[in-house]
Chain A
Amino acid sequence: MSVKQGLMALLAEGPMYGAQLRSEFEERTGGTWPLNVGQVYTTLNRLERDGLVEPTGEADSEGRISYRLTDAGVAEVGTWWTTPVDRDNTPRDELTIKLALAVTVPGVDVAAVARTQRTATMRHLHDLTRLKQDVMRKQRDAERDEPEPDESDSTANHDLAWLLVLENLIFSAEAEVRWLDHVETRLHRESLRPFRRSGDSAGAAKARAEVEETAYRREVGSQQQTDRTGARR
């Protein structure tokens, strides 16, 4: 996630100073991606250098400087909203790498690694679901107290923002559990095959070489058969 785009999107609502941007960003995303003020100011400086934001004036009595978007900044935010997030760049994922290595490094019980992870992810999913239930309960209570809320009700909007973030984390955790289920099933099937990956790796390599050799012979045999059939035609 680019902090730059996030801060610019907030500035599209009106001028803000660093600490304000930080707290708005965190509140709307439920503190899922915490920012420090230093990071916010560094980003603002870079945006100012690139002509996308500008200070609204001098520092206030507490030394805070508010920033606003320039015209170029407004255009950049518009582009951000209308352009899909780039998914071609596959981020490095520790779990995927861990399991890929577990399958290839001798002496690691891959199924146990997958199961332990699934239990942990399931617990995480459970915690996220509890948080979601709390937000939804709060929303229902608010609806009961005020059946027709004002559209500009910022608490309701912030709750909705937090709910969307939570649901994204929930769907991601669910996908991980499903993938780990799939991994377990695949490992189970592999373990039923005549040659096991684990154990005597030299033996396994030899067995694999034999299988390849047989497959090659069969291929060549069928090719010769085809040639013969072709010749008869």
Chain B
Amino acid sequence: MTAPSLLLDNVTRVHGTGDTAVRALDGVTLEVMPGELVAVMGPSGSGKSTLLNLAGGLDMATSGRVVIEGEDLTTLNAKGIAQLRRRRVGFVFQDYNLIPSLTAAENVALPLELDGERAGKARRHARQTLDLMGLRELSDRFPDQMSGGQQQRVAIARALIGSRRLVLADEPTGALDTHTGEDVLRVLRERCDDGVAGLLVTHEARHAAWADRVVFLRDGVVVDSTGRASSAEDLLDTASR
């Protein structure tokens, strides 16, 4: 059986202590398999961003395990986590986060260079990745010479350069109009259809519908998921309890 690219196993994250403690996530279990795009929806403060930060090793769980491609983050030290993040996990943010003084190809090459790859080789690789994603014409453009949608597609290329097969996207379409947002989702969907695992945080149902599964969070708890349906008996049972 294929191992999940990402596994959150009964993960809880508590901020603060005592009376002021806030359970941002409470016993969340979630799996993302290679080739699968999973969307997370929920109101503000439901724990979506906390979940994404834990999944990417940007934050540590109070209890439970976070496993990326078989590596349990709780067993790694800070250096190990940083390395795992550089090599295995790509992030896509709402505001693209491209470096303004670098071209698209240089931005995409950056994670490889930071991981010790020679600049020339890293840039060749970056151009190949941009080609593969149909973004060749953007290679030599600077961020301010690109539209929001183009920048976000470059950001996805950057997230998936090298050996990284897990992409964590936090509201990647939040700053884009309907059509441009769809272009970005299409690129993400195509990457996942090619075997990448994706976790997409969004508050728009229309965008979540591009995912294979949708998980609904409320107050740090998974309250619902499209993988499961309640029967009429369940509804009546719950009501009579």
In the docked arrangement, what's the CA distance between A125 and B205, Å? 8
**Interface presence of B240 (CB below 8 A):** yes
6 chain-A/chain-B pairs, Cβ below 8 angstroms:
A109-B236, A119-B226, A122-B209, A170-B209, A173-B205, A177-B205
A110-118, A152-160, A222-230: which lies at the B interface? A110-118
Query: Is A109 a contact of B43 with CB atoms below 8 Å?
Result: no
B residues less than 8 Å from A42 (CB atoms): none
In the docked arrangement, what's the CA distance between A184 and B234, Å? 18
B residues less than 8 Å from A133 (CB atoms): 186, 189, 210
Size class of the contact patch on chain B: 20 to 34
In the docked arrangement, what's the CA distance between A90 and B240, Å? 34
Q: Closest CB-CB distance, A106 to chain B, in whole Å? A: 9
Query: Is A116 a contact of B235 with CB atoms below 8 Å?
Result: yes
**Interface presence of A181 (CB below 8 A):** yes
In the docked arrangement, what's the CA distance between A170 and B178, Å? 12
Query: Is A181 a contact of B43 with CB atoms below 8 Å?
Result: yes
Contact of A107 among B205, B229, B230, B240 (CB under 8 A): B240
Contacts A185-B43, A188-B218 given: A116-B230 contact, CB under 8 Å? yes
**Interface presence of A128 (CB below 8 A):** yes
Contacts A112-B230, A112-B239, A116-B230 given: A174-B218 contact, CB under 8 Å? no
Given A119-B224, A173-B205, 17 new contacts (CB under 8 A): A109-B238, A112-B235, A113-B235, A115-B224, A116-B229, A118-B216, A119-B226, A119-B228, A119-B229, A119-B230, A125-B209, A129-B209, A174-B204, A181-B41, A181-B43, A184-B223, A185-B43
Query: Is A128 a contact of B224 with CB atoms below 8 Å?
Result: no
B residues less than 8 Å from A119 (CB atoms): 224-226, 228-230
In the docked arrangement, what's the CA distance between A185 and B239, Å? 18
Which chain A residues numbered 145 to 200 have a C-beta less than 8 Å away from chain B? 170-171, 173-174, 177-178, 181, 184-185, 188
**Interface presence of A126 (CB below 8 A):** yes
In the docked arrangement, what's the CA distance between A177 and B224, Å? 13
In the docked arrangement, what's the CA distance between A119 and B224, Å? 7
In the docked arrangement, what's the CA distance between A128 and B238, Å? 31
**Tally of A interface residues using CB under 8 Å:** 28
Chain B residue at smallest Cβ distance from A107: B239
**Interface presence of B159 (CB below 8 A):** no
Q: Mark B185-214, 1 if CB is under 8 A from A, else 0.
A: 010010000000000000011101111001
In the docked arrangement, what's the CA distance between A108 and B234, Å? 11
Query: Is B209 a contact of A184 with CB atoms below 8 Å?
Result: no
**Interface presence of A123 (CB below 8 A):** yes
Q: Closest CB-CB distance, B123 to chain A, in whole Å? A: 28
B residues less than 8 Å from A126 (CB atoms): 209, 211, 214, 226
Contact of B214 among A122, A178, A184, A185 (CB under 8 A): A122
Contact of A174 among B43, B205, B210, B240 (CB under 8 A): B205
Query: Is A112 a contact of B238 with CB atoms below 8 Å?
Result: yes
**Interface presence of A120 (CB below 8 A):** yes
In the docked arrangement, what's the CA distance between A174 and B43, Å? 15
In the docked arrangement, what's the CA distance between A133 and B229, Å? 25
In the docked arrangement, what's the CA distance between A188 and B216, Å? 15
In the docked arrangement, what's the CA distance between A119 and B214, Å? 9
Q: Closest CB-CB distance, A202 to chain B, in whole Å? A: 18
Query: Is A170 a contact of B206 with CB atoms below 8 Å?
Result: yes
In the docked arrangement, what's the CA distance between A188 and B209, Å? 25
Q: Closest CB-CB distance, A190 to chain B, in whole Å? A: 15
Contact of A112 among B43, B186, B228, B234 (CB under 8 A): B234
Query: Is A108 a contact of B239 with CB atoms below 8 Å?
Result: yes
A residues less than 8 Å from B226 (CB atoms): 119, 122-123, 126
In the docked arrangement, what's the CA distance between A175 and B240, Å? 30
In the docked arrangement, what's the CA distance between A181 and B46, Å? 12
In the docked arrangement, what's the CA distance between A177 and B216, Å? 11
In the docked arrangement, what's the CA distance between A184 and B240, Å? 19
